[in-house]
Amino acid sequence: MAEAGNDESYDTQTAGGSYVSNGGTLNGSLKLDGENTPAKEDSEEKIATILKAAPKAEFNGNSTVNGNIDNNLGLLTVNQGATLNIEGEGNKVTNNGYIDLAGVLNGEIDNNGNITVLDSAAHMTSFDGGELNISADVAASSLVAEESNADEIYVSAGSSLDLDSENLKTSQLTTYGTTKLGVDYTADAKVGNGGVLDLASSTLTGDVTLADSSTLSFNVDNVEEAAGGKVGGSVKTYLSEGGSAVINPVIGIDAGEGTYSFADEVSVKRVLWTAAKKV
């Protein structure tokens, strides 16, 4: 185990076991060099076993790295209440592994791996690419300071994401928890078993797929003005035998009377829905 104290100097610290900083400063770069690559189809148990053996870096207090962090199949953790500052022109975190974020990461993340948000107070400057897993109650406006793009955003069961900022973007939104739009948004959305997608009064440009016991909710603010939540695409349900999904219009007191169109097309199919749980 390597531990960083205040103002210690290194060239490149390579962690094959664990690197722990309790408010220390690393004057140099940090590399986590792992060997085993988890696959999407791996079980939770297998992924947990792989990560247990992976190299790790853990940050507590107010820690600084004056260099790059290269996470290759390792686990980088910023704990609750901690701040990790990436200092130096052009320095950043390159993530080809896993980041568990419960604190603050001040710096750019080039993400080809997985970032898991574990606390509502988690915050990062920006990231680009990879997967963003939401495992807390999170608002996009407080999560990222600058425009950030995920290949996929996944909201876990029991967690919530308030998409109240255009800074957090993705092409694929998957929710087994609750996701609410606070701005107009562009993405395809999959609402898993027990999940909720609340459009409120915003427009989602993309296709929505609903599973068993899922809910799509939207506001109907004014029928004549076609004001309210909308899907700028199709809504498809893939239900098991005896299964159902809920489409829930929330009608405002001044909505008026008439026909309100909330989607371009709605279709219902009865098939076996298979949910592949991600971590």
pLDDT at position 240, please?
Answer: 83
pLDDT at position 267, please?
Answer: 83
Residue 112: Cβ-neighbour burial (10 angstroms; 0-12, 13-18, 19+): middle
For residues 253, 258, 261, 267, the Cα torsion angle rounded to the nearest 10 degrees is: 110
Q: Which residues pair with 228 in a beta bridge?
A: 220
Rounded to the nearest angstrom, the gap between the alpha carbon of residue 194 and the centroid of all alpha carbons in its chain is 18
Residue type, 191: V
10-residue mean pLDDT series, the chain (279 residues):
43 63 95 77 74 88 97 95 96 96 98 96 98 98 98 97 97 98 98 97 96 94 90 90 88 87 82 45
- pTM to 2 decimals? 0.88
Contacts of 240 (CB under 8 A, 6+ apart): 212, 270, 271, 272, 273
pLDDT at position 167, please?
Answer: 97
DSSP the chain: -EEE-TTEEEEEEEESSEEEEES-EEEEEEEEE------TTS-HHHHHHHHHHS-EEEEESEEEESS-EEEEEEEEEE-TT-EEEE-STT--EEEEEEEEESSEEEEEEEESSEEEE-STT-EEEEEESSEEEE-SEEEHHHHBSS-EEESEEEEPTT-EEEE--TTEEESEEEESSEEEESS-EE-EEEE-TT-EEE-TT-EEES-EEE-TT-EEEEEEEETTTTEE-EEEEEEEEEE-TT---EEEEEE-TT--SS----EEEEEEEE---------
Q: Pick the closest to residue 129 from 71, 170, 68 (CA basis).
A: 170
pLDDT at position 13, please?
Answer: 47
